[in-house]
Amino acid sequence: MLLHIDLESSAPLYIQIYQQIKDKIHNNELKTNEKLTSKRQLAEMNQVSENTVMNAYNQLLTEGYIYSKERQGYFVADVKLQFDLPDLPEMKEERDTTPEIMYNLTRSNPDKDLFPYSVFSKLYRQLMHLPPEQLLTETDAQGLYELRVNLQSYLSQSRGVPCTAEQIIIGPSTEYLISILLNILKNKPTIGIEDPGYNRFKQLFIRSDISVTAIPVDEMGVEIDALEKSAADLMIVTSNHQFPTGSIMPLPRRQKLLNWANGKDNRYIIENDYDSEFKYSGIPIPSLKYLDQQQKVVYLGSFTRNVSPGIRMSYMVLPESLLKQYKETYRSYSSPLSTSEQWVIRNFLNDGHFTTHLNRSRTFYKKKRDRMIQSIQKVDAKAEIYGENAGLHLLMKPSTAFDGTHFKKMALKEGIRLSLLSDYATKVVPGQDNTLFISFSNIPKKDIENLIQDLYILIKKCAI
């Protein structure tokens, strides 16, 4: 009897054998009173020890699924008689009419082929060599200190974020960290969000019963005049690669934004530096926090786009004044992240793997971006492309006007999930409903040209 033994599974081998035999009995693949394969034969066929098979058989014996006969072996028990299972009403099979998504252009998830599997495999194995007091002890609310030291080094050298390890808070998501920030602010703020901007933050604030005001964005980022006229005390910005327009905030606009924050004691800026490691021309742009002389910028970053969304780890750099309030509120808390995960990421940074991975990723995604632009220009030389100089997505406005709502529905039927610039706007302006948001990070490079051709076929069908 061949079984499927998964050596990578966390389930013990005998449990896997026990479960599969039990399933075969329930499914009537093994009949009542049928003799089972001997322990020795089953062990040899599935490349496990006889003790492993013995443990599985003992569990089945204990639960009454099998019985033994001296010197004859093991046999399948009459399970139906033992449990006297009632007849269940016949269930009508319901077909899932949701189309299979082949390409999700709305999410900038890293390409799975780029993930450094061998490196992480090695790092996880090395965990077992840590002293128990390091590996098995929970960390305080701010996160593992050794990880924060390495993050501080990376942020100061690569992102231009002046800070100490003591200012860094580590959490499972940027939403979680923003919730902490809102909890330690003395007054409930009115929050300014970019328009168009990141909808998940807007939803978070509304659920938390916090006042939100949309601040329009132009080609240089958030409009300062509109911000000055608003009731906002806290402004969240994506200054190094505005989401979703892709614009990069120039120095004069950054200085004006900081002047706005410096105008009142209770004003702060949240800088969400979500994907600015990926800049494809020129030198990397320092963070807004780099210019912050009055400790008014809260810096946010994560490993979601530069490594994997499966690594649920983000970080926040608090100004000194807010750090004091944080410690007063969270001094008795512990970290929501596992100690082992934090040690793995710490060693990923400390051993230079993160830098190597980022360098490889920039080259990898630049090739995808170039293929995307070439494919668009090949089909539509007059198409307008925005935000392509950095990040993992771009905006594309075809030269043909089309019905955006109908286009999205048709694309979904073809297995393509996408969004338009208007989907991220509070106040939609002309042209946004004809501008496509295209994340290229997780599309196989070989599929890009055909994908763009398919999109243009749909655009022509929806032309107005």
Residue of 314, 247, 256, 253 whose CA lies nearest to 276:
247
420: tokens are 């338009």
Residue of 284, 229, 237 whose CA lies nearest to 257:
237
Per DSSP, the three-state class of 450 is helix
Residue of 303, 302, 328 whose CA lies nearest to 316:
302
Q: Each residue of 382-441: pLDDT tens digit?
A: 999 999 999 999 999 999 999 999 999 999 999 999 999 999 999 999 999 999 999 999
How far is it, in rounded angstroms, from Cα 311 to Cα 293?
32
How far is it, in rounded angstroms, from Cα 377 to Cα 329?
54
Q: What is the DSSP letter of 166?
A: G
Residue of 51, 62, 16, 17 whose CA lies nearest to 36:
17
What are the percentages of helix, strand and coil residues in the chain, rounded to 5? 45, 15, 40
Q: What is the pLDDT of residue 340?
A: 94
Residue of 20, 87, 83 whose CA lies nearest to 56:
20
184: tokens are 């330690």
How far is it, in rounded angstroms, from Cα 420 to Cα 106?
9
Dihedral in degrees, nearest 10, Cα atoms 167, 170, 174, 177: -60
How far is it, in rounded angstroms, from Cα 339 to Cα 183?
24
Q: Each residue of 4-58: pLDDT tens digit?
A: 887 767 778 888 899 899 988 888 889 899 999 998 888 888 888 888 888 889 8
Specify which residues 235 forms β-bridges with.
Answer: 192, 269
Q: What is the pLDDT of residue 84?
A: 47
| Identity of the amino acid at 389 | N
Query: What confidence category does residue 80 fall into, taking pLDDT thresholds of 50, 70 and 90?
Result: low
Q: Residues 53-66: what's their mean pLDDT?
A: 87
Which domains, and CATH codes, for the chain? 13-83 (1.10.10.10), 103-111+356-461 (3.90.1150.10), 117-352 (3.40.640.10)
Q: Give the total residue count for the chain.
A: 464
| Identity of the amino acid at 82 | Q
The helix (run of H) or strand (run of E) holding residue 428 is: none
Residue of 33, 27, 31, 21 whose CA lies nearest to 59:
21
Instruction: State the chain's mean pLDDT as an integer.
Output: 90
